[in-house]
Amino acid sequence: MEQIIRIKATTLTDTEQTLYSNTIGAIVKTIMLHNTNSTDTEVTLSVDGVIFVFTLTTKETKIIDTHIVANSIKGLGLGVNIHVSGLQLEVDI
């Protein structure tokens, strides 16, 4: 059985932070990024140790519609708002 969850909603910094960590994992459905800065900003997301880099222009919003299974999500990008939603996987006993 899965449960729809907000995985994380926060503002990223210039230090990598853990956005999600769970050994069972989640199916990530949507990642929304918004650059609040007045300059272009690079965002780095690490999904299960695999690095993805995005450059957002000033005030740009990017919506990533995805369906990936993740146990760990980390991110950095000073001043970028991030919202991640998905389905929390559960162990059926």
Global pTM value: 0.91
Count other C-beta atoms under 10 Å from residue 7's C-beta: 21
* Pair of tokens at residue 51: 């690095």
Are the beta carbons of 37 and 78 closer than 8 angstroms?
Answer: yes
Q: pLDDT tens digits for 9-67?
A: 999 999 999 999 999 999 999 999 999 999 999 999 999 999 999 999 999 999 999 89
pLDDT at 93 over 70: no
pLDDT at position 7 over 60? yes
Class of domain 2-89: mainly beta
